[in-house]
């Protein structure tokens, strides 16, 4: 067998084994931070409270210094990020606890919502769905309450 063919077969064999080897590894090494992105696309205080409870529970269970948490709002869910929303106080508390709360600017443009209408402390992403996809590709966990 020539050398190039041997190298190709070895690479293919290792590629087949790689997924199983990765599954045998722990979810996160002790020095790694856990990362989770939570989607909220509902204009429903109950869904928002559930999402914010999930964010807080993750921080409590894993330790605030061991986890990055983002809550991404788009579509109808953006309404709960506006000043005076039913969950404004919870969102302020989440921000104070280090949870990143992110508003989709695509939704804002489509619904004619200005940044000045959004709660203080909320950050912005161009496209909520794309942001979630990128985070998943980076290895972040994904939750949709």
Neighbours of 84 (CB within 10 A): 7
From the number of C-beta atoms within 10 Å of its C-beta (0-12, 13-18, 19+), residue 76 rates as middle
- Cβ atoms within 10 Å, residue 86: 14
Handedness of CA 79, 57, 23, 30 (dihedral sign): positive
Domain borders along the chain are: 33-143
Residues facing residue 103 across a β-bridge: 73, 124
Note the pLDDT of residue 32. 85
> Are residues 77 and 43 in contact, defined by beta-carbon separation less than 8 angstroms?
yes
Most confident of the ranges 5-19, 23-37, 95-109: 95-109
Mean pLDDT of the chain, nearest integer: 86
Secondary structure element (H or E) that encloses residue 124, with its range: strand 123-125
Contact 111, 90 (CB under 8 A): no
- Predicted confidence (pLDDT) at residue 118 exceeds the cutoff of 80: yes
- Higher-confidence position of 49 and 5: 49
Contacts of residue 94, Cβ cutoff 8 Å, sequence gap at least 6? 52, 55, 56, 71, 101
pLDDT of residue 2: 52
Q: What average pLDDT score do residues 91-111 get?
A: 97
Q: What's the fold here for domain 33-143?
A: Hypothetical Protein Ychn; Chain: A, (3.40.1260)
Q: pLDDT (tens digit, 9 = 90+) per residue, 17-67?
A: 444 444 444 454 545 899 999 999 999 999 999 999 999 999 999 999 999
């Amino acid at each position: 067998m020539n050398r190039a063919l041997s190298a190709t077969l070895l690479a293919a064999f290792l590629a087949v084994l790689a997924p199983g080897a990765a599954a045998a590894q722990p979810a996160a090494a002790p020095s790694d931070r856990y990362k989770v992105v939570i989607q909220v696309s509902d204009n429903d205080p109950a869904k928002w409270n559930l999402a914010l409870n999930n964010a807080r529970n993750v921080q409590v269970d894993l330790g605030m210094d061991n986890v990055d948490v983002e809550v991404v709002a788009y579509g109808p869910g953006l309404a709960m990020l506006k000043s005076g929303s039913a969950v404004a106080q919870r969102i302020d508390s989440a921000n104070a606890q280090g949870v990143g709360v992110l508003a989709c600017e695509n939704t804002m443009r489509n619904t004619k919502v200005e940044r000045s209408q959004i709660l203080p402390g909320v950050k912005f992403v161009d496209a909520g769905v794309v942001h979630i996809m990128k985070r998943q590709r980076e290895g972040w966990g994904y939750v949709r309450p």
